[in-house]
């Protein structure tokens, strides 16, 4: 699945909302095509800011971010955003049009595509997330799981190379969460997922980046990250629930090697 | 206060209008541009009728009544959404009888002043215009209204703005409702909102709205929207 082509690269990137205080200092990071990466860390660790730097919603004070070979700057911003699909933590912020069709069609319409082309794109994107039956529904009248699927469809509609998801499993019931994992698993795009959901990271990702106070503290496979209890503890993280064992029946948690193939 | 919450929610219950707009009645099937033009012309003519010509104004009431019956729209749906506009319009014209006391009509020896006539006339005008708009929305889905407006060469930015406003009425009301409920849960059973809390409640709602609008704008940018030089 993964190829060796770098699709997102941070080169000595520093950033701060306040120029006197940098959140990130000299971050170097390479993300390869086809990878599924979890960015984990405590609240305020800088996960969402890292994602916003990729999309150009915020710009580095120092250093360069590249997306698919393009520098993220004013000149390339439209090309960059065409390459990147982004889903927000709060689906209501992302689904801003009155109906599912209009929402998914938004980016295609912005590109000036014909009605027939737009219709094909919308149908394809909704099929990918198994939500074609919702096409005529009002966006505000969907369940949490449906909203999440539609936000992903809105991102897929612009045919991105990189899919960025900010806390995708927040507020989902167990079944909707399971469906989301299945859905994401089947998407071939490079996925960068900021999450607190360690089980999702374990089930879905082939690489985990641990952040704390704007610094990358760990960057490895889930096997190695979840073996390193000190790393987890120092960064206010915990093992996935299924690895923690049960305090009532004294069942031991699963070992990381037995979970990850 | 919970009743107030429920009342406001029902008044702005757009799902009701959405459901009506997706039916297949004769009027629903008309091209949206035709309905927009008819509604616009109706409102234009109605609002240009002289304020003292009550008889003529009342004749315009036939249009919404006729459409309600043809499109089979429950009167309750439209009536519930007219309550607050009716209250606002009556409060705007309430003092007309004081300003204009000249008797212009006598019925059974009872003199009716120009102020009363203009009050009734302006009140009816406002109800008829809002009813006509509500009927348009209940027979045409919002995206079709958007398409119709684009067909009429209304600038894309304005149409998107309209669609956004429509979409976020519900979200904003939800925020208001949550804020009121949060206050209520900590108000020790007191009724209403104490005047000292109004400032901070309104402030909170404004801050949340601004934050949300920033996020929505970001979401639009990320999906290819651009307006002038964005950066």
Query: The tokens of B92 are what?
Result: 């705007």
Q: What is the distance between the alpha carbons of residues B93 and B204, in angstroms, rounded to a whole number? A: 33
pLDDT at A102 over 50: yes
Out of A82, A88, A98, closest to residue B215 by CB: A88
pLDDT at A166: 93
* pTM of model > 0.80: no
pLDDT score for A132: 94
The CA-based angle A48-A45-A32, given to 5 degrees, is: 60
pLDDT given at position A14: 92
pLDDT band with cut points at 50, 70 and 90 for residue A11: very high
* Residue B7: per-residue pLDDT: 55
Residue B27 touches partner A, C-beta closer than 8 Å: no
Q: Helix, strand, or coil here: B208?
A: helix
CB contact under 8 A, A110 and B166: no
* Res B178: pLDDT: 79
Q: What is the pLDDT of residue B17?
A: 82
Judge: A93–B221 Cβ closer than 8 Å, yes or no.
Answer: no
Query: Quick one: DSSP state of residue A242?
Result: G
% of chain B exceeding 70 in pLDDT: 90
Q: How confident is the model at residue A2 (pLDDT cuts 50, 70, 90)?
A: low
Residue boundaries of the structural domains of chain B: 2-151, 156-222
Instruction: For strands A207-212 and A36-41, give the pairing.
Output: parallel
B119-141 confidence digits (pLDDT tens): 999 999 999 999 999 999 999 98
Top mean pLDDT of A46-50, B15-19, B161-165, B214-218 is at: A46-50
**pLDDT digits 0-9 by tens, A113-129:** 998 999 999 999 999 99
Question: Going along chain A, which residue ranges are E strands?
Answer: 6-15, 24-32, 36-41, 62-67, 70-71, 84-87, 162-166, 190-194, 207-212, 215-220
Identify the residue whose tokens are 């006729």: B66
How long, in residues, is chain B? 231
Q: Are strands B103-107 and B110-113 parallel, antiparallel or unpaired?
A: antiparallel
From CA A143, how far away is CA A165, in angstroms rounded?
A: 18
| pLDDT(B229) > 50 | no
Instruction: Look at residue B110 and give its three-state secondary structure.
Output: strand
Strand, helix or coil for residue A39: strand
- For residues A79 and A165, what is the distance between their CA atoms, to the nearest angstrom? 19
Q: Which residues are within 8 A (CB) of B139 and not within 5 positions of it... i.e. 6 or more apart?
A: B20, B21, B25, B27, B28, B30, B35, B67, B71, B73
Residue A40's DSSP bridge partners are A210
- B231 confidence band (pLDDT: 50, 70, 90): very low
Q: How far apart are the first and last CA of chain A?
A: 15
- Residue A89 reports pLDDT greater than 70: yes
CATH number belonging to the domain at A6-259, selected among 3.40.50.300, 3.40.50.150, 3.40.640.10, 3.40.462.10: 3.40.50.300
Q: What is the mean pLDDT of chain A?
A: 89
- Give CA–CA dist A233/A211, Å, rounded: 12
Q: Residue A149: pLDDT above 50?
A: yes
Residue B23 above 60 pLDDT?
Answer: yes
For chain B, the average pLDDT equals 84
**With a cut of 0.85, is the ipTM above it?**
no
Mean pLDDT for A42-68 is 92
Q: Which residues of A touch B14 (CB under 8 A)?
A: 138
Collect all residues with Cβ–Cβ distance below 8 Å to B160 and sequence separation of at least 6.
B225
Residue A42 carries which DSSP code? Answer: S
- State residue A147's pLDDT score: 92
Output the DSSP codes for A35-87: -EEEEEESTTSSHHHHHHHHHTSS--SEEEEEETTEE-STTTHHHHHHHEEEE
Helices (DSSP H) in B12-95: which residue ranges? 14-21, 26-29, 32-48, 54-59, 62-70, 75-93
pLDDT score, position A121: 95
Site from A97, A109, A115, A151 to mutate, B interface, most B CB atoms within 10 angstroms: A97
For residue A75, the chain B residue with the least C-alpha distance is B231
What's the CA dihedral at A74, A76, A81, A82 to 10 degrees?
150
């Amino acid at each position: 699945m993964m190829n060796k082509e770098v699709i997102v690269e941070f080169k000595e990137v520093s950033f701060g909302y306040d120029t006197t205080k940098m959140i990130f200092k000299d971050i170097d990071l390479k993300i390869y095509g086809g990878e599924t990466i979890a960015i984990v860390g405590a609240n305020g660790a800088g996960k969402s800011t890292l994602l916003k730097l990729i999309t150009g919603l915020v710009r580095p004070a120092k250093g360069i971010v590249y997306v698919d070979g393009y520098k993220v700057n004013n000149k390339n911003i439209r090309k960059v955003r065409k390459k990147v699909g982004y889903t927000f933590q709060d689906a209501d912020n992302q689904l801003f049009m009155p109906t599912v069709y209009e929402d998914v069609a938004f980016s295609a319409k912005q590109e000036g595509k014909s009605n027939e082309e737009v219709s094909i794109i919308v149908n394809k994107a909704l099929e990918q997330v198994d939500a074609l039956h919702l096409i005529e529904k009002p966006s505000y009248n969907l369940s949490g799981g449906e909203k999440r699927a539609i936000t992903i469809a809105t991102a897929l509609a612009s045919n991105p190379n990189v899919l960025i998801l900010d806390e995708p499993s927040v507020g989902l019931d167990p079944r909707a969460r399971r469906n989301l994992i299945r859905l994401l698993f089947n998407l071939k795009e490079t996925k960068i997922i900021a999450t607190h959901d360690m089980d999702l990271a374990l089930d879905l990702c082939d690489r985990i980046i641990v952040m704390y106070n704007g610094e990358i503290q760990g960057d490895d496979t889930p096997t190695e990250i979840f073996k390193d209890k000190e790393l987890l503890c120092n960064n206010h993280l915990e093992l996935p629930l299924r690895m923690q064992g049960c305090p009532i029946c004294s069942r031991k948690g699963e070992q990381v090697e037995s979970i990850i193939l | 206060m919970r009743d107030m919450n429920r009342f406001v929610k029902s008044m702005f219950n757009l799902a009701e209008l959405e459901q009506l707009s997706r039916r297949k009645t004769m009027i629903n099937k008309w091209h949206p541009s035709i309905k927009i033009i008819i509604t616009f012309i109706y409102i234009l003519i109605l609002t240009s009728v002289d304020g003292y010509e009550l008889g003529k104004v009342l004749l315009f009431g036939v249009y919404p009544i006729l459409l309600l019956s043809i499109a089979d729209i429950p009167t309750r749906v439209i009536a519930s959404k007219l309550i607050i506009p009716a209250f606002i319009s009556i409060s705007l014209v309430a003092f007309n009888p004081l300003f204009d006391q000249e008797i212009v009509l006598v019925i059974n020896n009872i003199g009716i002043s120009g102020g009363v006539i203009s009050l009734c006339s302006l009140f009816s005008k406002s109800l008829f215009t809002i009813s006509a708009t509500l009927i348009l929305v209940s027979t045409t889905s919002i995206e079709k209204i958007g398409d119709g407006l684009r067909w009429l060469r209304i600038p894309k930015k304005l149409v998107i703005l309209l669609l956004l406003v429509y979409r976020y009425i519900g979200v904003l009301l939800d925020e208001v409702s949550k804020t009121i409920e949060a206050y209520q849960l900590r108000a020790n059973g007191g009724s209403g909102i104490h005047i000292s809390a109004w400032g901070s409640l309104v402030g909170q709602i404004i801050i949340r709205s601004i934050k949300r609008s920033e996020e929505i704008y970001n979401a639009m940018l990320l999906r290819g929207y651009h307006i002038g030089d964005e950066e």
